[in-house]
Amino acid sequence: VRGLADWMQGQESESAGLSRELLTQYFSSNSMADATRNRKIVSFKKFAQYLVDFGQARHNPFDKAPKDLRQRAIANQEIKWLTPEKVNKLLTDLHKPNRQGQRKKSEFARLRDYTIAVVILNLGLRVSEICNLKWEDVFFERDLLLVKASKHNKSRYIPLNQAASDKLLDWHFAEKKYKSEYAFPSQKGEKLDPSAIQ
C-alpha cells in the first residue's frame, strides 16, 4: 500500500483515491510477477475496506474482487505433490534401521524424524511450526494441536487425526526421558533448527 501511495504522488492523475482505473495505470507502469500482482490486489482491497470501516471512504471500489486485473499465477507453474507411493516410500525409508552407506542415526533421531514426517504429511505444519511446537500445545484429550503465532502472527488450532495423534503419543512416551518442553527437540533437548528438518 505504501508503494502504491508513493507511486500516486508521482502521477498527474485527477483521481482522488483508489479506483480500478488507477490500479490499471499502476500495474501498467510497474512490471511484476503474476503472484505479486495478485497479492497486491488483495492488499489494496483490504486496505480500502479498512478505510470504509473507519469512515475514511464511502465505499470499497474492490468490494467484488477486480478479476479483470488479477492474473492466474498458477497457469505457468507445475503443481507438485507427493503421490501415495512416494509418501509410503518416504515413511518406510525413515522407519527403517540404518542401512549401509547411510549416516548412522540414533534411535532417538530415527523415531523423531519419522514422527515429524507423519505430522507434516497429516497436519500440513510448516517446518518453523514443527520446530516451535511444545508439548503444552498438544491436547491429546481434545484431539487438537495449537500452532502459536505462526504466519501473519496468528495462532490457530488444528484437529489431530488418528494417524498423527497415535504417532505423537508414541513419540511423547519415547521422548519423555529428555524432559524437553519442545515436542521435537535436538538430542541435547534444545529447540530443533529448521535446517535439521530440511
pLDDT of amino acid 147:
92
Confidence of residue 76 (pLDDT cuts 50, 70, 90): low
pTM higher than the cut 0.75? no
**pLDDT tens digits for range 122-134:** 999 999 999 999 9
pLDDT of amino acid 154:
80
Q: Which of 97, 151, 163 is nearest to 125 (CA)?
A: 151
Report the distance separating Cα 67 and Cα 23, nearest Å: 12
Residue 105 pLDDT exceeds 60: yes
**pLDDT averaged over every residue in the chain:** 83
